[in-house]
Amino acid sequence: MEIIRIVILTLSALMLVFVGIMRLSNPIKTYLKSSGIRLENDTSLLNEMRGVAAVMLCAGIIILLGTFIEKLTFNSHLVASLIFLGFAIGRLISLKADGKPSKQITQGILFEIILGVANAFCLINVLGQV
């Protein structure tokens, strides 16, 4: 089970760190390329986008630390579960309220659900070992 936890944490961390860095450094280009969303050069909008990107980056770093520091494994799975399931729940609510998003975003929802459930499973497993 230890290897599975490390793989899940590593995948979760790398995804959040990569997306966080890309969206923080160039949100207009990154959103267009990865989601098909055309952002306007609006200072307030870009500020919001970079804020969320920084949260994703920091969460990714915390999750990655859990692969190296055993005392942080529980916290890493908890953060990853909250981030991925939180995004998935928000997107599913939007799917119902706003309609179907682009193909890229729909694929993102699937990854968020898979990683969120995988991290929740590992979190429950870690709790069982205590």
Residue 82: phi and psi, rounded to 5, are -65, -45
- In tens, the pLDDT along 86-114 reads 999 999 999 999 999 989 899 999 999 99
Count other Cβ atoms within 10 Å, centred on residue 103: 10
- In tens, the pLDDT along 52-93 reads 999 999 999 999 999 999 999 999 999 999 999 999 999 999
The reported pTM is 0.91
Which residue type does 38 have? R
